[in-house]
């Protein structure tokens, strides 16, 4: 693995923030699928930097060029690969970071692992920018899943303690969530969104950053999908989601809240609705024993505050092992959470498409 | 995958709660390792049922019989396999559950996936009992890691809102945590442990159950271990830990708490200590960019309340799609959290040994 | 991998020739399949030792005991595991072999790899006996495939230069091959079989052994199965078939013969038969570009002469690095080829079932 | 898998013969390795078309552009990706092939698998041209292995029945084989090479093609590398080598010849040489029980005659299911064997580097 994920659909990500290009190869995507390039462009736009006041000033169109695997816009069965060429890099901003690592970043761990050969410019392979190729693959999977009746919605659940409206996990109003996709600031309740943006603006003014939580809902997945133990839907999503930079926590359904509850409160009663078995509540987040229940899959990821802050921080000069103060230059998001929203959708879609493609086989 | 996990060390778990036996095969364990069978027995004992008032009345010695891969107690390089024979099953207790699934269990999802052919007795392959063979493998890995200077400690962080003492993530007192292994109720602060046991007893008296959180610390892992993106230490642990039944959440370091903080609070300053680079705090939980920093790896898993409760619950008779009330018979833990503690250690050890074995290769 | 093979169906083999038992776990076998235990017994019998004059005198019923994954004889979706208990071992026969390795065996390579900790008795994990658990899994897969219209037939193609009748690769008479399964000596032409047995008897009388070729035909596989490049049907079969001890060569269709031909001779003309596209000849062995053509899959494996011979051989005492003559004791087949026939069928069936289960997914 | 191979080093190949580019991503290549770009260029040149009379007239420099994973020419630990841009395509040559498949090609099987969406131009993803990116990865691995003392040599063993000089498998003269790398026609005995070229010229004159055998020797691999059963060196090489288009057979050491021998002839006596255990002969081809013996690894692959011939051939119009005669246009090698030689080296090197990187871990 490493920068490759999936079994039936294998997504291989390559690039560094300031390499000639970043890109992705998708091996196993079914032939004959017409990619909606406008839709893909809109999706990429949601993650792209420079959209508003609180994201990095670096501007990149981030529009992918498909190199292989498509004829016109239709997949041909061969591995699909796409590149995003890098421009507008300011590599000089980063030169010092190999010597004095930034707190909260992978500078130090990469230095130890790669012995100083790592590409440190712009965060190298550890940059959040590596999510752009993931989003290419993710958008294709989202489009594919949608044709199968499966939709993936994420929104900002909270930033710095300010929470968006709650989703009814047992009866997710798709419309409510669907609208989020078109918003510049992806929340359900725009008033709360305004509050969050104030929190971000204040952090920025303080030369600081702030974290948050992204919530994701996947609807339309039939019951009975997934494998027990180590290859369940939770396991698969978990492995993938921790690949998004800054994710430090993950919970399904009631998650950590369940630890506070009694069984009689947390168990979801079964009921019959429209001749189908459903649960009255969805504290289990759509997965029981690793296998889908037919209820919406609901999970939340905790995203730490952007470690790059303009304030002086304490670090160590590695060569001399002397402590020194570090001031980071470069352009950074005071809050990465809004741009993480499509990334969470993309990763979830890749996993779900892989799982769906792996199929269920009886005889 | 499914019931197999690992790359270099592959652990394959088999069995159902009421099959002739449950067991495990460990492929790739290095030859020439002498298993301390007494230590393994003590470890199995920590997970075994029937130890005290709040665990199920089912008693099983759970001592494994090694079938292959060892000569005397020394591994010979061939796959190691071990069985635990099942006795003392009351299979009749479970017959109704195929028809009327228990809320919060995998009964319904297994029914859809396996078309009614699944073994429902005692929870079948979904039973928490399947953690016993995982613990065999886990104990071997723990013993192996210990010789490499790596130790894994878990304790009950909280049950039903009552919290154990906090661990200093940046300077884990190994002694404090090491003692936990020998305690019948695995907490740091025994007074808090007493409170927790009261919470459990009360839930039991109410024919109910209660959930909690297990915290785990891994010490002695050098910096520079792990891979970026999808194969980092967080990804690997995450995939494995969600294989423990009832786990619904996972966080590393500050985890969900980080979502509430600012970068200046959450970033861990680098410092020099004993001529080594350390961080002053350990909010990152020992992993940055998927790669170990040399600080202790710290994570927490949320464990939902045991879904099996003696109270009447609402369910559905699947054949007729009619709602009906269900009363579960059989023996069940009012709180699975104490027995989950060694399971968390076992799973973490299997992952870490696999990662360590995969090695780091330069030239 | 190592002793595990497969993606969708994972077969994990464990045991040593003289361990308490040898066994297999099959993860991912579909639920609800009724194993025909009589058929499985007959299949195991074909590989079992002690059937006739030219196989080892060691007698073992080799009947597996299913431990998990079945209710009655019906698979329940949980991993299926089965054991064959070892009896009748003469472990003392082997004690010297760690010190003075047998030519042509894995004694020396295992010694280097496992540092002397390997189980050398009876060949340990390298024994041909490890094919017995493979045959358990293989028989289940053969039964499953048969219900899908896919059959696997192997016969002795040649022993020591004596060749069986040729198979018409483009129009395999299934009856002709099917009869082979019921024969004690698995050839099409029994007269040739008598000749082969004379060759074996002569080798045995000379305290020697002899090799041969097994040919295998798989019918009923639809066109369009398999993946290009590294995951085609040839790749998958190749990886698995070299897991059978003593296999040193593999060819598909015309194989090495194709290297002598011109394109105009080796290319298979397309034609229409019964409204289906077929090829007039089948020099391609049913696979083009890694993908099945709908024609029978045909391959041959070369099996070296049993390395265990009663003659004196030259070896080296490893401790002292001095050359010395070695005389091997123990019971050995003068020709392993007849017993390899069901092993080839078993391995081919495991691969094909895995491939078929992995499925083809369009939208 | 599919177009991805490897565990520790993952090589992912993408592209179609007439896509914008073809390329490769190498995930897991160690950081800090300086690629000798001249050496890489020379290696690519050996596979490149248009070098002489008997290869296709299509000319491409085939020089890769490294996009990611290198700083200067030094690997940085991030996935290395490289592209070869396609020019000089004559896509119109291929338009008919979707309707009337070429005998011996993957046209028909791809049509069934991909439902007509496959890219048929130039053979699409099935083109031998896809070996160019494999050779990029292969050249890097060859350079890496060489620094570890491991070398990979291949030569044309035979073409159309004309054989090159034999290699002494037990004592491979590296110089003799090393010279082959610099020759335009890669044989040991240039007189035999002239004969082979006459065979090819004659086939070309007859509008036909001819097959052959490539032999490969890997020296310097220490004893004790590899895993038993399904993950041995033979298994791993086999899986990869059948990914080279037109390979239909593979044998190690004596291979199919061993099937004709007695044990006393085929077994390799152990001896002591320079204080090391060696075998006097190397009929086992350097691998016993899946594990290296320290002797040279020797294998041969059978390569079928190029299926593209200018002669009229019998095919079927798929839409109407009517038989018709087909004449293939385009440029084709009358013999692919010379250009297959570096491809075999490349694939062998990728596998061996992966195996070596996976390492051997004791404690």
B15-61 pLDDT, tens per residue? 999 999 999 999 999 999 999 999 999 999 999 876 655 555 555 56
Spatial distance between the Cα atoms of C350 and C339, rounded to a whole number of angstroms: 18
Residue pairs between chains B and D whose CB atoms are closer than 8 Å: 35
Spatial distance between the Cα atoms of B11 and A73, rounded to a whole number of angstroms: 43
Closest Cβ–Cβ partner in B78, B147, B363 for D363: B147
Q: Which two tokens stand for residue D354?
A: 């992966």
Q: Do B362 and A115 lie within an 8 Å CB cutoff? A: yes
State the average pLDDT for chain D. 92
B124 in contact with C, Cβ within 8 Å: yes
A122: left (phi over 0), alpha (psi -120 to 50) or beta: left
Spatial distance between the Cα atoms of A117 and C278, rounded to a whole number of angstroms: 55
Report the pLDDT value the prediction gives residue C33, as an integer from 0 to 100.
Answer: 97
Give the minimum alpha-carbon distance from D309 to chain C in angstroms, rounded to a whole number. 7
**pLDDT average, residue stretch C77-96:** 82
Q: Do A77 and D125 lie within an 8 Å CB cutoff? A: yes
Q: Which of D242, D251, D332, D341 to mutate to test the interface with C (most CBs of C within 10 A)?
A: D242
pLDDT tier at C362, thresholds 50, 70, 90: very low
**pLDDT average, residue stretch C110-134:** 93
Among the ranges given (A168-172, B288-292, C146-150), the one the predictor scored with the smallest mean pLDDT: A168-172
For β-strands A212-219 and B212-219, DSSP reports them as: unpaired
CA D293 to chain centre: 24
Spatial distance between the Cα atoms of D85 and D48, rounded to a whole number of angstroms: 14
pLDDT tier at A92, thresholds 50, 70, 90: low
Residues on chain C touching D159 (C-beta within 8 angstroms): 259
- Picking from B39, B78, B92, the residue whose alpha carbon sits closest to that of residue B345 is B39
pLDDT at C363 over 80: no
pLDDT at D1 over 60: no
Percent of chain A with pLDDT over 90: 82
Report the pLDDT value the prediction gives residue D2, as an integer from 0 to 100.
Answer: 85
Q: Do C69 and B110 lie within an 8 Å CB cutoff? A: no
Spatial distance between the Cα atoms of A153 and A140, rounded to a whole number of angstroms: 15
State the average pLDDT for chain A. 92
Spatial distance between the Cα atoms of A163 and A148, rounded to a whole number of angstroms: 32
Report the pLDDT value the prediction gives residue D363, as an integer from 0 to 100.
Answer: 35
Percent of chain C with pLDDT over 90: 82
pLDDT at B263 over 90: yes
Q: Which of A262, A298, A299, A316 to mutate to test the interface with B (most CBs of B within 10 A)?
A: A262
D32 in contact with B, Cβ within 8 Å: yes
Global ipTM: 0.95
The string of pLDDT tens digits covering residues C12-51 is: 999 999 999 999 999 999 999 999 999 999 999 999 876 6
pLDDT at B359 over 70: no
Closest Cβ–Cβ partner in A15, A20, A67 for D19: A67
Residue pairs between chains C and D whose CB atoms are closer than 8 Å: 375
Report the pLDDT value the prediction gives residue D313, as an integer from 0 to 100.
Answer: 96
Q: Which residues contact C128 (CB under 8 A, 6 or more apart)?
A: C245, C246, C336, C339
Report the pLDDT value the prediction gives residue C188, as an integer from 0 to 100.
Answer: 95
Q: Do D206 and C262 lie within an 8 Å CB cutoff? A: yes
Dihedral of the CA atoms D65, D71, D75, D76 (nearest 10)?
A: -130
Q: Tell me which chains share at least 3 CB pairs under 8 Å with chain C.
A: A, B, D
- Reported as type and span, the H/E element at residue C75 is strand C74-75
pLDDT at B178 over 50: yes
Q: Do D259 and C321 lie within an 8 Å CB cutoff? A: no
The string of pLDDT tens digits covering residues D88-103 is: 665 566 778 789 999 9
A359 in contact with B, Cβ within 8 Å: no
Report the pLDDT value the prediction gives residue B140, as an integer from 0 to 100.
Answer: 98
> For tokens 């809102």, what's the residue?
B161
- The count of other CB atoms within 10 Å of the CB of residue B74 is 14
Cβ-in-10-Å burial (0-12, 13-18, 19+) of A33 comes to buried
Q: Tell me the three state secondary structure of residue A352.
A: helix
- Reported as type and span, the H/E element at residue A176 is helix A174-180
Q: Which two tokens stand for residue B38?
A: 């007494």
Angle at A35 between CA A31 and CA A38, to 5 degrees: 175
pLDDT at A3 over 50: yes
**pLDDT average, residue stretch B86-113:** 84
CA C10 to chain centre: 17
CA atoms within 13 A on the CB side of A208: 16
B263 in contact with C, Cβ within 8 Å: no
Spatial distance between the Cα atoms of B138 and B144, rounded to a whole number of angstroms: 10
pLDDT at D137 over 70: yes
CA B294 to chain centre: 23
Report the pLDDT value the prediction gives residue C108, as an integer from 0 to 100.
Answer: 96
- Picking from D28, D53, D52, D24, the residue whose alpha carbon sits closest to that of residue D40 is D24
Q: Chain C: residue nearest D225 by CA?
A: C113
The string of pLDDT tens digits covering residues D249-275 is: 999 999 999 999 999 999 999 999 999
**pLDDT average, residue stretch C301-312:** 95
**pLDDT average, residue stretch B348-352:** 98
The string of pLDDT tens digits covering residues D223-250 is: 999 999 999 999 999 999 999 999 999 9
The string of pLDDT tens digits covering residues A235-279 is: 999 999 999 999 999 999 999 999 999 999 999 999 999 999 999
Q: Chain B: residue nearest D79 by CA?
A: B228
Task: Tell me the C-alpha to C-alpha distance, in Å, between residue D32 and each of A114, B196, B222, D343, D363.
Answer: 7, 53, 20, 25, 27
Phi, psi (rounded to 5 degrees) for B27 = -100, 125
B143 in contact with C, Cβ within 8 Å: no
> For tokens 């027990």, what's the residue?
A228
State the average pLDDT for chain B. 92
Check: CB of residue D268 under 8 Å from CB of residue C109. no
> For tokens 């659909």, what's the residue?
A9
Residues on chain C touching D17 (C-beta within 8 angstroms): none
**pLDDT average, residue stretch D143-155:** 96
Cβ-in-10-Å burial (0-12, 13-18, 19+) of D44 comes to buried
B5 in contact with A, Cβ within 8 Å: yes
Q: Which of B8, B162, B221, B242 to mutate to test the interface with A (most CBs of A within 10 A)?
A: B242
pLDDT tier at D179, thresholds 50, 70, 90: confident
Q: Which of D14, D19, D28, D115 to mutate to test the interface with A (most CBs of A within 10 A)?
A: D14
Percent of chain A with pLDDT over 70: 92
pLDDT tier at D357, thresholds 50, 70, 90: confident
Instruction: Write down all domains in chain D, each with its CATH number in brackets.
Output: 3-357 (3.60.150.10)
CA dihedral (A26, A29, A34, A38) positive or negative: negative
**pLDDT average, residue stretch A109-125:** 92
The string of pLDDT tens digits covering residues C170-216 is: 886 667 788 899 999 999 999 999 999 999 999 999 999 999 999 99
A361 in contact with C, Cβ within 8 Å: yes
Report the pLDDT value the prediction gives residue D361, as an integer from 0 to 100.
Answer: 39
Residues on chain B touching A280 (C-beta within 8 angstroms): 314
pLDDT at C264 over 80: yes
- Picking from A50, A118, A126, A120, the residue whose alpha carbon sits closest to that of residue A332 is A50
The answer for B 301-330 residues in CB contact with A (under 8 A) is 302-309, 311, 313-316, 318, 321-323
Report the pLDDT value the prediction gives residue C276, as an integer from 0 to 100.
Answer: 95
Q: Which two tokens stand for residue C321?
A: 């690095």
pTM equals 0.96
Closest Cβ–Cβ partner in C28, C78, C144 for A363: C144
């Amino acid at each position: 693995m490493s920068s490759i994920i999936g079994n039936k659909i294998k997504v291989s990500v390559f690039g560094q923030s300031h390499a000639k290009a970043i890109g992705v190869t998708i091996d196993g995507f079914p032939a004959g699928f017409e990619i909606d390039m406008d839709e893909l462009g809109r999706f990429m736009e949601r993650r792209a930097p420079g959209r508003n006041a609180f994201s990095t000033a670096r501007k990149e169109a981030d529009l992918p060029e498909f190199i292989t695997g498509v004829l016109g816009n239709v997949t041909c069965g061969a591995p699909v690969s796409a590149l995003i060429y890098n421009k507008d890099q300011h590599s000089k901003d980063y030169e010092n970071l190999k010597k004095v690592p930034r707190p909260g970043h992978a500078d130090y761990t990469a230095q130890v692992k790669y012995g100083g050969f790592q590409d440190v410019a712009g965060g190298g392979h550890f940059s959040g920018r590596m999510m752009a190729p993931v989003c290419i693959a993710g958008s294709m999977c989202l489009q594919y899943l949608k044709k199968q009746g499966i939709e993936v919605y994420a929104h900002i659940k909270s930033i710095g303690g300010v929470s968006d409206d709650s989703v009814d996990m047992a009866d997710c109003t798709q419309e409510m969530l669907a609208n989020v996709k078109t918003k510049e600031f992806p929340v359900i309740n725009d008033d709360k969104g305004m509050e969050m943006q104030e929190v971000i603006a204040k952090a920025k003014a303080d030369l600081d950053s702030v974290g948050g939580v992204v919530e994701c809902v996947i609807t339309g997945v039939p019951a009975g999908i997934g494998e027990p133990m180590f290859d369940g839907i939770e396991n698969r999503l978990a492995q993938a989601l921790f690949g998004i930079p800054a994710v430090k926590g993950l919970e399904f359904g009631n998650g950590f809240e369940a630890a506070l509850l009694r069984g009689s409160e947390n168990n979801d009663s079964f009921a019959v609705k429209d001749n189908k078995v459903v649960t009255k509540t969805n504290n289990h987040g759509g997965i029981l024993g690793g296998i889908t229940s037919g209820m919406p899959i609901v999970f939340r990821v905790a995203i730490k505050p952007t470690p790059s802050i303009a304030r002086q921080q304490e670090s160590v000069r590695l060569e001399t092992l002397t402590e020194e103060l570090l001031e980071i230059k470069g352009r950074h998001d005071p809050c990465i959470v809004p741009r993480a929203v499509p990334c969470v959708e993309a990763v979830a879609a890749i996993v779900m498409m892989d799982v769906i493609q792996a199929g269920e086989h009886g005889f």
